[in-house]
Structure 1
Amino acid sequence: MLTTAWLAGKGFDIERLRFGLRTALASCLALVVAWSLGLEHPQWSAMTVWAASQPVRELMVEKSLYRMAGTLVGTAVGLLLLTVAGDSLPWLVIGLALWVGLCAGAGNALYSLLSYGALLSGYSAAMVALLGSADSLGTLALGADRLLTVLVGVVMALLVGLLFTPGARRSELEEQGRRCTTRVLHQLAAQLGSRRHPGAQAPSDLLVDIALLEAQLEPSAAGSRRARHSARTQRTILAALTAALLWMRRRGRAGTASPAVERAVHAAALAMDRAAPLPEVAGHLQRAQALAGPDDPALTQVLERLGDALLARQRFRDTGRARRQGNRPGLLRHRDWVHARHAMLRTTGVLLVVGLAWAATGWPAGAYVMLGTAVMVTLFSTLENPAWMMRHVLLWQAIAALLALTVRWLLWPLASAEWQLIALLAPFILVTVIPFAHRRTQNGTVDYVMVLLLLSQPALPLVGTFSHSLGVALAVVAGPLLALIAFRLIFPTSARHRQRRLEAMMLNELEALARQGTPERAAVWEARLYHRVMQLVHWSHRRGDATQRVVDGSLAALTLGETLQALQHHGEQADAATRRRLAASLRRLGRLRQSPQEAAAALERLARTLAYRQQVALALQSRHTARLLRANQAFFQQAS
């Protein structure tokens, strides 16, 4: 205990230290096993252990399976490219650049470990095709060696991981979700009545808690289909809570509901507080929904959404499956298609430039430059700020290259047997644990051990020259350097870029809804909106910005979407003159981002027309939406 406390006081993450030690030992074990089996590249098995190991057992098992599947697909594509391209290096480069770029795009569009599998399929093909052209092995022999070494690494990672890695702590996430639901229900009851709940938070603060919880659900969903269904139902509850908080933000303190509605919601909050069965909580919400009735349709919809989400969670607990209920499409997750397209174009373009330069110069180490670049621009493209991470990766890879040269030219010449080569390499693998576990040095340390192993071929007799080894080491380190330049100059990405892009996608769909709105399109937009709000709050919180701007902007977007639906529904029944005015206003709203002020003015003019034709409620709704557009002009203009 004293040692653990001392290490923690010195800046070490104790859990990460234990995980790193397990992984380093498993990596050494995989290296020994692969060498004992006579595999050509035993160091690849040790690399696979570091790639497949995870601090949670379920995540490790699923990642290992995806690693095997991704390696199988990548190896097959790599062998196919070698076969089709033959001796033509330019065609090999073009085919590889297109494939890796496609995998990078898919990896950035997908969620969960599907993303990892797609990225791995790309750079596994690069390892087979490029090292196949650089080494003396034949095509099929290289592919077989790659598959077997990966299999050995995965088996060793699983063996050590299943024995010593703890399971996922899903109950903690469920308890956090229960507490979030309790706080939102107490806040809703307080807003419906006159009572004040002690310790109440502002809706924007509650949204931050919900967004942070939603970000933790993806890793917890690994390991089984039940876990994925569990995360899906939890995410649906969080979306319903987001809808409730936006409703509270819109309503403010203007008026109270009937005491009976407030008492029913308060009873639901108390039931959730004491961890009562979810059907009991949903029953109180259904009673509140019935009491609210048609007098407050927005509140009725909020209560219905939350009650349905809680019942769906209970059905999952009873059956182990999450099923869509009712006519509502439920929660649709946001996918950043723009970022995925940028990743695909960036990866393809950079690899084409690097590969064709290699083909033109004929530099023997050019294959390693392209390989390192392929790994870096794909694997790190999913990060929030890949350029920042590349600086750490570049530093650790340079250290690894220097140590690999030291091992090869100063230590290994002292060995007389291959087992001694492995014994001399093992300490440099084990020492990874120290920087890996320290909070100041942990970023990029896995790349240190990866490059160290990539550059270390434990086989006798030792061949090659120092100049060749130096050239290969410089070529490998050039990968993160080129990736750093690419991430900074070609479609640069960061939390700010992702937030702005997400806002732009929200408004782009609103403009499409104004131009060609249908009830189905509107339902899909609303179902996706709540996950996008959680994502926006998450990005804003990560940047350290106040979340109020994105909350108010999201509320304005939601209100505008509801107004568009109401206007289009009215247009189906209106006279010809009103339909023409409606169509003109909707066309202007279809160019919302060009000038939110003009869009607001168009809504105000339409409101006057509707009021003249005795459509008072719709006129008031249009005027209120226009005020929100003016008040949140910065949100709409920054998203353009």
Structure 2
Amino acid sequence: MNARASLTAKLMSASTWRDALLDWSRTDGLTWIYILKAAGAALLSLGIAMKLELPQPRTAMMTVFLVMQPQSGIVLAKSFYRIAGTLVGSLVTIVLIALFAQEPTLFLLSVSVWVGICTFGAARNRNFRSYGFVLAGYTAALVGIPAAQHPDGAFIAAVTRVTEVTLGIVCAGTVSALVFPQYTGDTLRTVVRARYARFAKFVADTLAGRADRAGAEQTHTHFVADVVGLEALRSFAVFEDPRTRMRSGRLSRLNTEFMNASTRFHSLHQLMNRIRANGQHEVIDAIAPYLREVSPLLLKKNGEPVRNAADAEHAAAQLQAFKESLPRRIGETRTALESHTRVALLDFDTAAEMLYRFVADMHTYALTYASLSADLHERERTEARYVPRTNTTAAGVAGLRATLVMLALAAFWISTAWTSGGTAVLNAAPTCALVASMPQPAKTASQMAGGTVFAAVAGFIAMFFVYPRIDGYVMLCAALVPFLLVGMLIATRPGWAGYGIGYCLFFSFLAGPDNFIHYDPSSFINDAIALIVSMLVTAVACAVLLPPASPWQRNRLLRSLLRQVAAACTERLGRARRSLESGTRDLMHQANALTTDRPDVQAQMLGWMFTVLEVGHAAIDLRTELANLPDNACYAPSAAWRREIQRMLEALAALFGTPTRERLVASREATSTSIDAALQMLDAAATPREDRHQLQRTLSYLHFIRTALLDPRSPLNISMPGMPASHPKGANTAA
């Protein structure tokens, strides 16, 4: 027994160790693989640059740290835009030197303006296109400022700069793709599966009453991040994976359809809550059986979650069958309710329409998900695409800030003739551009300055105490590895990325060895001080000159968010819905990033997002129904009831353009009046059955807008305390 117990204990111990090792390999093990790959790629680029006798091998080494990422698709995407930016920056450098080489003041002014323009582009594009703008500005400063003192060598300097950058990119991409590769496409497929499963569970929990308000808000916040994250992964994966390239259009379409389905479900849920709060229990009892049938439709036939595209095909078939049977069944249920009040009928019609629209959007989403199992599919052809764009004003402020920082440092350089003043000026370019797209640029720039202080100390030790005592490339690699591993380890720690970036980049800048090393302590110290000063000046500028997290910037985001409804009421229908979803969720993502330490502000912005999406979608649906009405005089835009609806849309656009108490009252009155006018038209006109259904759908959207305007939990009413829950005018149609 003792021997058997001992053997069992050993087996359990071995199993525990194996499980722990597997867990480590999936977490910290992957981090260490990435760290070692980055260090190896940096040393490889350094060795090749030295062998080719390039002027500054350290540039290739720095490039590796700039583009290296854990997944190969991200490295390739980042590299592509970095090369493009470097080529553009080199071209601009040659032009500026040709124009202003003999006028240092004008040259520095033009470079500062160019860097400001590139920083605007880097802040505006919150994806790896921003790196193209970063490099376009940085290259102009890095190549132009030294070359301006020797204009005849500007072209050679630009060519060698491009060569060094390209070498670093090739080394990073090769190592990332060949050594324990991690593919972005695999992550993308995992995210697509997980999001569908999470949304299906959220729908089931919400309809069953298992999701509380706080949990639902948190889930919707995750969905916003999912939309942004999936589009980023798609844009990376197309660089590495031909299968993803063939499905790129469908993945973009899938993102848009998910946004539509999640918004429609939230609108349905909110409407049911409003109906319940108004005591319309007969409407709840009538629609509840249909809601209970929805959740099983999103699963496999045996009730298990959908795990891949093939499973989604079955879910799409179930949704299709349910959608086709729903109008007839809803019609039968409505017949039983015709003896109730008109308010109850409007509530039921609106709830039924929201349910049908949700099922239709979910069916479309499942069809696109199922189409991913095929390499080629007709759903690949789509114009729907989520494009992240930072608020134009915020990006403009970042560009202006970069220009002012460059000009201030340039003025200091000219007035003091500081030997390392040029280093301070050229380093301000990438620092301003790198932090421009970050939610806390002042904090990131400060962290980079702290990392540079550490890099200066480590670089001084390497330069003046290690290098003189070694000989040969192998010994050089052995000496550099500890320094590089420390920096990469810091860069991978949560909350310490700024320190790690500053250390890795500027250790390479200060102590990256050249073919002929110049041991000049005073120049080393001056350059280190210049780097730190440029980052501290950038941090101060970001903290003082309209910082992103300031109330001013939050208010700008909120105004941009509300204007999405105004655009939904007036913009061309062909792109209105896509613009609404993409723009609203992108603005919400920016707001979340800027208010990580303010959960109260995040909750407020989330409430506004829901209101904007609900009202915006209803306005677009309303306009779509009106646009599809038959060519008949009673449906013409000049008809009285159509004019009332148009006035309502104008009042709605004015309300969300600048919310005030008076405009909210006017919007409520206009909505009530338009509902009354549409009801009179429906009662008076002898119209075909299909036309009546279309008019009833129009009434449903009008009624939904009015319930949203009356909702006491809406930010519109919360931000204007004292507003009554209803208004006497049009009370007969109040919900």
**Structure-1-length-normalised TM-score:** 0.84
Matched, 1:75 2:90: yes
> Judging changes above 3 Å, is the alpha-carbon distance between structure 1 residues 163 and 465 closer, same or farther for their aligned structure 2 residues?
closer
Alignment of 1:556-571 (within 5 A): 556-561=611-616, 564=619, 566=622
* Structure 1 residue corresponding to 2:426, chosen from 371, 376, 397: 371
1:120 matches 2:108: no
2:373 matched to which residue of 1? 317
8 Å Cα contact 1:312-1:322 kept in structure 2: no
- 2 CA distance for matches of 1:277 and 1:39? 55
Q: Partner of 2:237 in structure 1?
A: 223
State the shift of 1:56 in Å: 0.9
Q: Distance in 2 between matches of 1:637 and 1:390?
A: 39
Please identify, of 270-279 and 472-481, the stretch whose mean Cα deviation from structure 2 is larger.
270-279
Structure 1's 354 and 529: CA in aligned 2 closer, same or farther, altered over 3 A? closer
* 1:3–1:464 CA distance, 2 compared to 1 (3 A): farther
Residue 599 of structure 1 aligns with which residue? Answer: 663
Local SS of the residue matching 1:600: helix
Corresponding position: 1:163 with 2:178? yes
User: Runs of 5+ in structure 2 lacking a partner?
Assistant: 1-15, 239-244, 277-283, 332-348, 628-634, 681-698, 722-735
How far 1:470 moved relative to its partner? 2.2
Higher mean alpha-carbon deviation, 549-558 vs 27-36, is at 549-558
Identity of aligned residues (%): 18
The answer to whether residue 707 in structure 2 is matched with residue 624 in structure 1 is: yes
- Residue of 182, 186, 197 corresponding to 1:179: 197
Distance 1:533 1:249, change over 3 A: farther
Q: What is the match of residue 288 of structure 1?
A: 322
Shift, 1:601, TM fit: 0.9
**Residues 10-89 of structure 1 aligned to structure 2 (within 5 Å):** 13-89=28-104
| Equivalent position to 1:298, from 354, 360, 368 | 354
Q: Is 1:211 matched with 2:212?
A: no
* Other structure's SS at 1:273 match: coil
Residue identity opposite 1:67 in structure 2: R
Aligned residues: 628
How far did residue 50 of structure 1 move? 1.3
Displacement of 1:539 in angstroms is 4.4
Cα shift at 1:299 = 2.2
1:273 aligns with 2:356: no
Matched, 1:245 2:245: no
Classify the secondary structure of the residue corresponding to 1:458.
Answer: coil
| Other-structure match for 2:409 | 354
TM alignment of 1:330-345, pairs within 5 A = 330=384, 332-338=386-392, 339-345=394-400
Shift, 1:322, TM fit: 8.0
Tell me the CA shift for residue 323 of structure 1.
4.3
Please tell me whether the aligned partners of residues 249 and 381 of structure 2 are also in contact (alpha carbons under 8 angstroms).
no
Would you say 1:386 and 2:406 are equivalent positions?
Answer: no
After superposition, where does 1:529-540 map in structure 2 within 5 Å? 531-532=585-586, 535=589, 539=593
8 Å Cα contact 2:85-2:135 kept in structure 1 = yes
Name which of structure 1's ranges 238-247 and 484-493 shifts more when overlaid on structure 2: 238-247
**One-letter amino acid of the structure 2 residue matched with residue 377 of structure 1:** C
Question: Judging changes above 3 Å, is the alpha-carbon distance between structure 1 residues 264 and 130 closer, same or farther for their aligned structure 2 residues?
Answer: same
With 409-418 and 238-247 compared, the bigger mean Cα shift is at 409-418
The answer (yes or no) to whether the contact 2:561–2:587 under 8 Å persists in 1 is no
Q: Does the 8 Å contact 2:253/2:384 carry over to 1?
A: no
Query: Who is 1:523 aligned against?
Result: 577
Amino acid at match of 1:303: V
Q: Residues 317 and 123 (structure 1 numbering): CA distance in 2 closer, same or farther, change over 3 Å?
A: farther
SS of equivalent to 2:611? helix
Provide closer, same or farther for how the CA distance between residues 185 and 421 of structure 1 changes in structure 2, counting only shifts above 3 A.
closer
| 1:319 partner SS | coil
Contact 1:16–1:436 (Cα < 8 Å) also in 2: no
* Letter matched to residue 139 of structure 2: S
* Matched letter for residue 213 of structure 1: D
* Length-normalised TM-score, structure 2: 0.74
Q: SS of 1:55's equivalent?
A: coil
Shift of 1:473: 1.7
Q: Determine the structure 2 residue equivalent to 1:138.
A: 153
> Structure 1's 310 and 379: CA in aligned 2 closer, same or farther, altered over 3 A?
same
Does structure 1 retain, via aligned residues, the 8 Å contact 2:409–2:534?
Answer: no
Cα 1:517/1:434, change in 2 over 3 Å: closer
Please say if 1:103 is aligned against 2:118: yes
Equivalent residues of 1:264, 1:287 under 8 A apart: no
Aligned to 1:317, the other structure's residue is in SS state coil
Cα 1:249–1:348 change in 2 (3 A) is farther
Tell which deviates more after alignment, 311-320 or 50-59. Answer: 311-320
Structure 1 counterpart SS, 2:299:
helix
Matched letter for residue 163 of structure 1: L
Counterpart CA distance in 2 for 1:637 and 1:333 is 33
* Structure 1 gaps, min length 5: none
2:67–2:172 CA contact under 8 A, matched in 1 = yes
Letter of the structure 1 residue corresponding to residue 405 of structure 2: V
Task: Deviation per CA, 1:275-295: give whole Å up to 9, x if none.
Answer: 463232122222333333384
Q: CA deviation at 1:475?
A: 0.9
SS at match of 1:336: coil
CA deviations over 1:170-219 (Å, ceiling 9, x no partner): 3321331231232144247xx3xxx6679999542431332343343244
Change (3 A) 1:321 1:131: farther
CA contact (8 A) 1:313 1:322 kept: no
User: Which whole-Å CA distance do the structure 2 matches of 1:52 and 1:455 have between them?
Assistant: 19
CA contact (8 A) 1:600 1:629 kept: no
Structure 2 residue identity aligned to 1:223: A
Look at both structures and tell me which one has the larger radius of gyration over its CA atoms.
2
Structure 1 pair 614–395 and aligned structure 2 pair: CA distance change class (3 A): closer
